[in-house]
Amino acid sequence: MPTPVLELRHVSKRFDMTQALDDVSLTLYPGEIHALVGENGAGKSTLIKVATGVYQPDHGEIWVNGRRVHIRNSQEAQALGIAAIYQEPMVFPDLSVAENIFISHRDRGPFVNWRKMYEDAEAILAKLGVNLDVRLPARGLSLAAQQTVEIAKAISLNVCTLIMDEPTSSLSAHEVTQLFRLVSTLRDQGVAILFIGHRLEEVLSIADRVSVLRDGKLISSRPRGEVTIEQVIRDMVGRRIEDFFAKSAVQRGELLLSVRGLSKENVFSDISFDVYRGEVLGFAGLVGSRRTDVGLALFGVEPADAGQIIFEGKEIRIRSPQQALQMGIAYITEDRLRYGLSMPLSIAANITLPTLANYLGALGLIRSAAEYADAEEFRQRLSIRAPSVQVEVAKLSGGNQQKVVLSKWLNTKPKLLILDEPTRGIDVRTKAEVHHMISELAAQGLGIILISSDLPEIMAMSDRILVMREGRQMGLFTREEATQEKVMAAAMGQEYKVPETQLC
């Protein structure tokens, strides 16, 4: 066996509530494409960040080319020959392709030799079998082309370990084929490649080895010959022992929302579903499935291009968040920090923000008493743990912050509630409280769309499950029909065939 290029030995990393990596040992050999699969939140991005020096592991060791190392930042990782390419490539739009490739080089001499740079760039691209005009500015390039530039950049720096994080999620089939050809070429040249992806057929077609992460633990690591898709899915999904709060069955009310053929160019296409009062429609899918974009379209932040939306029997076009709010649609964002809460503001101020107009008295002044009262009510109702509603939201724990976000939207008395990853990064106790709340809300007659990457959560909470993959609708299951494997398979574009030997 050749010396491993990169080795993670018993690496663990913890963030507040979550054990992101739990005793993970992974080995990358030169000239090997090592695929890493796992659900959202399984720990893949944390692993990448540890390998590239963004995070330092709490426990465990990193070995590069047979030597133990400490990678303290991305420059050190680069010096060790480790490079990573992400879904969103970081290019300089105003510089040419060739310049983008060589921009971080320090050793090309005191003067820029343009002709040589163009030639070298073309040579690298030729090595990759790609045809790009190296003189054009990177601005006009497609995402696929930008990724190619990133790869070329990595090669130019003599990378030994190339980490690719979901590189194909925004690419067309043709572009994917090209990318894979590129990657194979790299592999043949001796580079070790860690490929994170979720399109199983693709992954299996190119990988030499497949490892599965789940809840921060490495579940399995097998060479390609020994792997089947069903096995991988089962490893990813596993059997949970935790008792999840199951949504109580509620009498389904009238049709609240009807969506037909909803499309947004290059984002999602032909999404159709119904939501009834009293029901929870779960949206399942993996990274890049564009579920959030559908939610944003329904909330008017990024309106759809085409399609029909019928809300409470009337056809509507949702063009702005204000409009959506007025109609009774509320959207709870997945990114609390960036979009959900105004951190320096108090709990009360955050809760009343969308409905501020209701709290204004004469002359447009805020009626603090009314605001305080309503905020207090939510504090009780959702058990928000804070000394008072005047406390800054920044001082609360993640779980309590999420409760404030929930309160904020519940305060708008919505008819349709769209929840995007509502329990991400929250402690178990609060998670249960949130689930309880969702069930209650459904019972009160709200229609709820639950977007979540936590399969057990979706399975437990949804009356029906819609599965999306890369902007397309893959299936609609009822509660009875759905199993974790079926849902995961649909999310990956597979049809799940129950193995004959399975009897339970």
Partner 1 sequence: MLTSLRRSIRPEQIRELILVLLIVALVLFFGTQIEGYYSSRTFIRISTSIAILAVVAVGETLVFLTRNYDISVGSIVGLTAFFVGTQLNHYQGIPPIAALLMAVGLGAIMGAFNGVLVAYGRVPAIIVTLGTMAMYRAMLVEYPGIKIVQMHLLPGWAQEFSRVNIIQVGDFELRLIVGIALAVVIIFQLVLTYLPYGRRLYAIGSNPEAARIAGFPYQRIVFIAFVLSGTLAGLAGFMFMGRFGNLTVGAALGMEMQAIAAVVVGGTSTMGGVGSAFGTFLGAALIGLLDQSLLRWPIISEFWRDAILGLLILLAVASDRAIVDRLRTLWARSELQLRPSMATVRQEESVHGS
Partner 2 sequence: MVHSTTSLPQRFLGWLKSWEGLLLGLLIVILIINSALVPAYLTISNQVNLFILFIEKSIVALMIAFIIINGEIDLSMASLMGLSAGTMARLFELGVPSGLAVLAALCVGLICGAFNGFWVAVVGLPSLVVTLAGLIAYRGLVWVLVEDRSISVLPAWLNDLGQKPLIGPFPFALILFFTFAIIGYIILQYSGFGRLVYVIGINRDVARYSGVNVRRVKMILFTASGFVASIAGLLYAARLGAMRSSTAEGFELDIITMVLLGGVSIFGGSGTLRGVFLSILIILNVRNGMGLAYMSANLQAGVIGLLLILSVLVPNLVSGLRARMARRYGMVRPLEVAESR
- Applying CB under 8 A, the residues found at the interface with partner 1 are 74-75, 78, 90-95, 99, 103-104, 108, 110-112, 114, 133, 135-137, 260-261, 305-308, 315, 317, 319
Characterize the bridge pairing of strands 472-478 and 209-214: unpaired
CB atoms within 10 A of CB 345: 15
User: How many CB atoms neighbour CB 243 within 10 A?
Assistant: 8
Q: Which is nearer to partner 1, 259 or 460 (CB)?
A: 259
C-beta closer to partner 2: residue 47 or 348: 348
CB under 5 to 8 A by kind: which of partner 1, partner 2, none does 90 bind? partner 1
Residue with Cβ nearer partner 2 (208 or 427): 427
- C-alpha closest to that of 449 among 349, 347, 324: 324
Partner touching 103 among partner 2, partner 1, none, CB below 5 to 8 Å by kind: partner 1
Q: Supply the DSSP symbol for 465.
A: E
Q: Which is nearer to partner 2, 211 or 400 (CB)?
A: 400
Residues that bind partner 2 (CB under 8 A): 16, 301, 320-322, 324-325, 331, 333, 338-346, 349, 353-354, 356-357, 359-360, 363-366, 385-388, 390-392, 394-397, 400, 408, 412
CB of 318 to partner 1, least distance (A): 12
φ, ψ of residue 472 to 5 degrees: the values are: -115, 155
Helices (H), 157-228: 173-188, 200-206
Q: Which is nearer to partner 2, 95 or 301 (CB)?
A: 301
**Side-chain half-sphere of 48: how many Cα atoms within 13 Å?**
22
Q: Give CA separation, 128 vs 76, 121, 151, 209, 480, in Å.
A: 26, 11, 9, 22, 49
280 contacts which partner out of partner 1, partner 2, none, CB within 5 to 8 A by kind? none
Shortest approach of partner 1 to residue 193 CB, angstroms? Answer: 21
- The interface partner of residue 391, options being partner 2, partner 1, none and the CB cut-off 5 to 8 Å by kind, is partner 2
AA letter at 269? S
Hey, what are 442's tokens? 């459904």
Q: Which helix (H) or strand (E) holds 322?
A: helix 321-327
DSSP secondary structure string for all residues of 367-382? -HHHHHHHHHHHHHHH
Minimum gap (Å) between residue 52 Cβ and partner 1: 10
Q: What's the one-letter identity of residue 217?
A: K
Asked if 459 and 482 touch (Cβ cutoff 8 Å), the reply is: yes
Out of partner 1, partner 2, none, which partner does residue 497 contact, by CB within 5 to 8 A per kind?
none
State the nearest-atom distance from the C-beta of 208 to partner 2, in Å.
42
How many angstroms separate the CA atoms of 192 and 1, rounded? Answer: 14
SS3 447: strand
**What is the nearest approach in angstroms of partner 2 to the Cβ of residue 338?**
6
- Partner from partner 1, partner 2, none binding residue 504, C-beta < 5-8 Å depending on class: none
By beta-carbon proximity to partner 1, the closer residue of 153 and 408 is: 153
Tokens of 267: 């984002």
Among 186, 194, 189, CA closest to 210: 194
Q: Residue 376: name its binding partner from partner 2, partner 1, none (Cβ under 5 to 8 Å by kind).
A: none
Minimum CB distance to partner 2 smaller for 233 or for 405: 405
Cα(294)–Cα(309) distance, integer angstroms: 12
Choose among partner 2, partner 1, none what residue 472 binds, the Cβ cut-off being 5 to 8 Å by kind.
none
Q: How far is the CB of 261 from partner 1 (least distance, A)?
A: 6
99 binds, among partner 1, partner 2, none (CB under 5 to 8 A by kind): partner 1
Structure tokens at 295: 């939610």
Give min distance, CB of 200 to partner 2, in A: 34
Of 118 and 245, the one with the shorter C-beta distance to partner 1 is: 118
Please, which residue, 37 or 404, has the CB nearer to partner 2?
404
